[in-house]
Each structure stands twice: as C-alpha cells, then as structure tokens.
Structure 1
Amino acid sequence: MSTVHDYRVDEWLRRALPGRCAFCLAATHGTLPWCQTCHLELPWNLPACPLCAEPQAGQGRGRPCGHCLRRQPAFAAARVPLRYLDELADLVRRFKFQASPRAGSVLLGLLVEALETAPRPDGLVAVPLHRRRARERGFDQAQWLARRLAVRLEIPLYTARRLRDTPSQRGLDRQHRRRNLRAAFGVESDLPERVALLDDVMTTGATFDALARACQQAGAQRVEAWAVARTPLP
C-alpha cells in the first residue's frame, strides 16, 4: 500500500512543480524532467557488452566482452542505459548520498524510458544493503528505485537479504570483488521463472553476479541485471 502511495505522491509532485530541466534548469515541455538537448548529450552506454553492459569502444562493439567470454556471469543479460560520468554521475551522487527525491525521479524516468521495449520479467529484486549500513546511511537507494519501478511496470517486488556486512568494494579488482561477495546474499521466498535485479550503479557486475546466484537457488531460471548507470572503463 505504501508503494502505491509513494508512487502517487511522486506523480503529483512531478506534475505540480514547474517544469525545469534537471541538468541545465531550462524550461521543459510536457512532464519530462529534462530538455531535449541535455537528454541527447547524456553519456549513453553505447556500445556496450550485451552480457555485463561494460562500455565498449573500437573492435568488438555490441559483442560479449573479454571478461564475459572468459567467465560468463550468472545473469543472462544486463540493461544499463547510461555511463557514470559528468552530470549523470552528479545526479546519482545527489540521489544516493543526499536522498534527493528530485534526482531519484529523474533517474527513474531515464530507466523507465530505456526499458520501454524490454521484455517484462515476472518479478523485481533490489540489490540489498546490509541492515547496519542502511541504518547508518538512512536511505536505501536501490529499494527506493525498485519500489517505484515495480509499480510502473506492474510486476511484484521480491526481497533479498545481505547475509554478511561485506567490506567496501571500492578499490578492489574484479576477482577480489567476487571473492568478497561469495555467499553474501539470500532469498527466502520462492522466485518466479524470470526476475530482474536492480541497483543504481553497476561497476564490474560482481554484486549482481552474487545476487543472481542466490536468486537461482530460490527458483529463478533467467536473471537480468538492471541499473541506471555503468562505471566506465579506467
């Protein structure tokens, strides 16, 4: 019930507030929170690896990257429309660390637009924070996005738990990230056949990989990784 209430409040705010672009503050037309110029100039994640959404350039555009060819992730595909750069990165930081509902609504709108033609999964699972970290931060950005996206797509939201308060992933390479997250997640309820995992930012995909394995143990047959932005290559 609270999810539907939150969504209705978001819609009311979106329609009631003056239409200004979230990036340049220029006037916008209609209800979109961005102007056409800024929308075109956003760091779109194209081309990208179809399996892990790693940004690509030069040869291999649109084909699985070397990491996925050596070790295919537990999830079947990744849908991550943007790169974590410039104004988009600033927007994510305002949402994640300042709990800005305006920034969150813009990110949600961009994600919904990117998923418009994607097949609908049978359920959605947010990448969970550990309870201690959620209390310290006072805000769970993935859960905020997932609750609203589930209403928009009219699909059920399932809950996963972080079983261990894992050390920060910052500064770790791909292999150490996977090791850090081994057996870190659990899903207590039975999951439907097709589920999508959701987070705000995807870095190497190690978190999604670990959560996808937990979802498969709970009955999911096909798991996709969804995020708003992908960290670019060094």
Structure 2
Amino acid sequence: MLYQSPIKELVHDFKFNASSRAGMLLAELMLTKMPSQLGTALLAVPMHPQRARERGFNQAQWLAEQLSRRTGLPLIRAKCQKLAASQRTLNRRERVANLHGAFSLTGPLPAHITLIDDVVTTGATGNALAAVARQSGAERVDMWAVARTPLGNN
C-alpha cells in the first residue's frame, strides 16, 4: 500500500495519538497483504528507549506483537542504542548516516527473518537493521510494512 490518504491518516493516528483502533486496522490490512514467505521469526524495528517514552510506545513493536500472535511466528527483539535525529526530515544520504551504529542484536538468529515497520520511505532503516541481522546469523531478511511512500516522494 502507498503511504497516502486514508492510510496516511490511519498511520498518523496510530503513531502520534496511540490509537489502538487505528493500529488494529493497520495490522488487519497488513495481514491481507501478507508476504508469501514470512521466514521463521519477526523482528520489529526498535526505537530508542527515550523516544519510546516520549511517544508512549513503539508502533513497529506493537504491530509486530499483533502479527506474531496472528501468524504464530516468534518475535525477536533488537535494541536501538543511538538516539538519532528523526528520520522524517532527512534525505536518503542523511538517513543512512543517521542510522550508522544505531541497532544491535544478540544472535544467533534464524536463517530467514522478516522485519516489521509502519512505513518504508527510503529503506535506510530496514537496510541498517538487516545488516545487523545478517551479522547476527540471518541469511535472508525481508521487510513487511503497512505502507511505503510513493517513489519520488522521498
């Protein structure tokens, strides 16, 4: 799905107003567009603890917990140890640099895992987390998100 109305409004309500109703709708939408090969575990994009306290929750973790329950796949936890600038205002190059050294995992991981996030813009977050997952033993890392920004809008 593209990150446009009405999905954009649902994501915003979920992410910034902690609307569990919007979150449940987003999880249901994700389940209707489930990847054909999910791997053997889910891994939510982690949020720095300070950001999670400010927001009140980690939306990717919340979605991953819902999807884990519905698919029966275990949920692996990663850590975000770098309080980086918000990705929302950065261009592609800045996003990649911003995430350098941000994530950590304790392995070994299953051979095939699926990352969970709300919105994919440039793919920088997914790529940074996938690199750490591969260093921790994953051979294949896929991404499953609610939506992606339209090409040319990132």
- 1:121 maps to 39
The 3-state SS of whatever aligns with 2:118 is: strand
Please tell me the residue identity of whatever aligns with 2:111: E
Please list every run of 5 or more consecutive structure 1 residues that lacks an aligned counterpart in the other structure: 1-81
The 3-state SS of whatever aligns with 2:87 is: coil
Larger Rg computed on CA atoms: 1
TM-score by length of 1: 0.63
Q: Does 1:229 align with 2:140?
A: no
Note if contact 2:107-2:137 (Cα within 8 Å) is conserved in structure 1. no
- Aligned equivalent of 2:74, options 156, 160, 164: 156
Note if contact 1:123-1:195 (Cα within 8 Å) is conserved in structure 2. yes
Q: Percent identity?
A: 47
Which whole-Å deviations, capped at 9, do the CAs of 1:20-56 have from their partners, x for residues lacking one? xxxxxxxxxxxxxxxxxxxxxxxxxxxxxxxxxxxxx
- Aligned equivalent of 1:109, options 12, 28, 35: 28
Please tell me the residue identity of whatever aligns with 2:52: A
The 3-state SS of whatever aligns with 2:113 is: strand
TM-score by length of 2: 0.95
The 3-state SS of whatever aligns with 1:83 is: coil
Superposed counterparts of 1:1-234, under 5 Å = 82-115=1-34, 118-232=36-150, 233-234=152-153
Larger strand proportion, structure 1 or 2?
Answer: 2
| RMSD between superposed Cα atoms in Å | 1.0
Count of residues in Structure 1 that have an aligned counterpart in Structure 2? 152
Note if contact 1:161-1:187 (Cα within 8 Å) is conserved in structure 2. yes
Which whole-Å deviations, capped at 9, do the CAs of 1:136-180 have from their partners, x for residues lacking one? 111111111001101111111000001211111122211111111
Deviation at 1:182, TM superposition (A): 1.0
Please tell me the residue identity of whatever aligns with 1:227: A
Equivalent-residue separation in structure 2 for 1:143 and 1:194 (angstroms): 19
- 1:40 maps to none
Query: Relative contact order (alpha carbons < 8 A, sep ≥ 6): 1 or 2 greater?
Result: 2
Equivalent-residue separation in structure 1 for 2:53 and 2:89 (angstroms): 24
Equivalent-residue separation in structure 2 for 1:172 and 1:165 (angstroms): 15
Deviation at 1:102, TM superposition (A): 1.0
Note if contact 1:120-1:153 (Cα within 8 Å) is conserved in structure 2. no
Deviation at 1:120, TM superposition (A): 2.7
